[in-house]
Structures are given as structure tokens and as C-alpha cells.
Amino acid sequence: MNVSARLERTVRICLSVAVLLLLAVPRVTLAQSADAIVRKVVGNELWYSDHDHSRWMYEDDYKSPSKDLVKLVIQTPQANLSEIIQSYGRTPSAQMHQGDLARLKKTVNDASYRAQLRQNERHDDQQATNLLKMLPDAFIWQIDGRENGIIRLSYHPNPKFSPPTMSSRVLAAMSGTMTVDERQMRLENLFGRLDKPVEFAWGLLGRLNAGGTFQVTRSEVAPNEWQITETHVHISGHALFFKDIGDQEDDVTSRYHPVPDGVDMQKAQQMLLDGEVAKTLGVSDPFAQ
């Protein structure tokens, strides 16, 4: 082979390698960018969770197989107080309203009851935190696109990840999508679907059916203030000798308004009962005094 031919062959090889590298770079870069985005978003959400001391009043529309309620909620440093204003689209009965008032008064006056509520909330918050921390490692992420300040990502289970708890096993079996506010790097929407059944102790303790879904939506309710405004969970299965189990709920919150400084439980209770919360949120309270 003469010098000219060897040079031509060398050039062709170099060009071929260069093309392969150029084709490979976008995939590698996107994978790295997706992972970095998810870790940044998770870090931001954890930081704000630890440092957010804002208090809100809002409307809460909750549906499950056994409940269909609309509540007015007002947050205080001691506890969240609420009043039911609708049940299955109607004004609650007098009996239901009296029971609701008794629960409200117990929250205000019974410190041990409030401690129990806080313990339950801390348990739920810790579980949510643990699952949030899993997101970067439990899944393989990729960027699907960027548009109008929103980053769209998709994910599927990472076969190298070993879930440490039963609840994390459920999450780690999901595939789905996530959208991110690119300017603030805050989580906007997280959707997941069970790709296959999840069994516990080979199905002896429980089994969740494939196709179950969850969705969490966060909204900017005020400048740089984000809250969970929608939670939808629809998962079914059985546990312990084929007893049916299910987690079916839809929880939508809206009409967020900041609670004025200095509002304690007693003041918050008064604001609920005299209709001030309802008036502030622009809703009708059939029990306003």
C-alpha cells in the first residue's frame, strides 16, 4: 500500500471514529444532564422542606372510596385546623357537623391529641423524604424535552438498585415521567405506573397489581412558594390470604392564601367558625356564625 492509500485509509478511519463519537456524545450528555437535574431538584425540595416555615389557608377537596369531603384548612405552628363544608357535594348533616366541631375543639384543647397528630405527620413526612431521596438512584432517567421553561424527563427502574423497605419496593417498580420548573429547579409533576405486580414474601404477605398509578403535582402558590396541590393514588391488590387492599384517593388543594402573622390555634379556630377563612378564600361556608 502506497503512502497516498495509507493516508486515505487513515483519514477514513479517523472520520468514522469522529462520526461515532459525535453520535454518542448527545446520548451520554443527556444521560448525565438528566441525572444532574434530578439530583438538583431533589436537593432543592429537601432544602425547602427543612427551611419553609410559611403558613397557609386553603380549600381541600378529598375523595376516597369511603369519603368525599371539601374542607377549609388553616395552618398554625401548633397544628393544622380544618372545617368540613361539603360531604358528597352537599352541606354536611347537623350530626356530622357537630362531630366535626368536636374534633376541631379537641385539636385546640387536647395537647396529647395534637402530639399524636404531629407524630403521624412526622412519620408521613419521613416516608416522603426517604422516597424522594431514592429518586436519583432508583431509576434510570432521560430528558424527553425542554419547552416554555419546563424540563420533561422520563424514568424506568434501575436494575442495580436494591430497595431498602417495602414502600420503596413499590416506588422502585414504577416507570413514569417528571416535569421540572427549569428556572427554579423545582419539581412540578411526578407520575408513576407499576409496570408489573409487586409481591411481598412471594405473595404470601401481599401483592400489588400491575397498572396501579400515582401522581403528585406541585404548584407555585406565591412567588417562590411551592405546595403539593394534587395527589392521585390508584393502586389495588391483596394481602394476607387474599384480602382485598387498595389505596384509592384523590386530594386536590386550591385557593392558597398566606396566614397572617401571629395567628395561633385559638385565633385560627375563631377564623374558621366565624367564616373569615371562607371569606378570604372566596368560598361559601354554610356554618359561618
How far does Cα 155 stand from its chain's mean position?
16
Q: Is the pLDDT of residue 5 over 50?
A: no
* Cα dihedral value 110, 112, 118, 122, nearest 10: -170
**pLDDT at 135 (0 to 100):** 94
Distance in angstroms (rounded) separating the CA atoms of residues 226 and 47: 12
CA distances from 67 to 91, 127, 140, 288 (A): 14, 24, 37, 23
Residue 23 pLDDT class (50, 70, 90 cuts): very low
Mean pLDDT of 18-33: 42
Mean pLDDT of 182-187: 96
Residue 7 pLDDT class (50, 70, 90 cuts): very low
Residues 97-151: tens digit of each pLDDT: 999 999 999 999 999 999 999 999 998 888 889 889 999 999 999 999 999 999 9
**pLDDT at 182 (0 to 100):** 95
Distance in angstroms (rounded) separating the CA atoms of residues 165 and 20: 42
- Helix, coil or strand: residue 205: coil
- Per-domain boundaries in the chain: 3-281
Tell me the angle at which helices 94-109 and 111-138 cross, rounded to the nearest 10 degrees: 90
Distance in angstroms (rounded) separating the CA atoms of residues 105 and 145: 50
Angle, CA 70 vertex, CA 66 and CA 75 arms, to 5°: 115
Residue 170 pLDDT class (50, 70, 90 cuts): confident
Residue 14: φ, ψ to 5°: -60, -40
Place of cell 427551611: 51
List the alpha helices (DSSP H) in 110-154. 111-138
**pLDDT at 61 (0 to 100):** 98
Q: Which long-range contacts (CB under 8 A, 24 or more apart) does 44-47 make?
A: 44/184, 44/185, 44/186, 45/132, 45/186, 45/187, 46/129, 46/132, 46/133
8 A C-beta contact, residue 37 and residue 153:
yes
Distance in angstroms (rounded) separating the CA atoms of residues 73 and 85: 11
8 A C-beta contact, residue 247 and residue 170:
no
Residues 239-283: tens digit of each pLDDT: 544 444 557 899 999 999 999 999 999 999 999 999 999 999 999
Residue 169 pLDDT class (50, 70, 90 cuts): confident
Q: What percent of the chain has pLDDT over 70?
A: 83
| pTM, entire model | 0.82
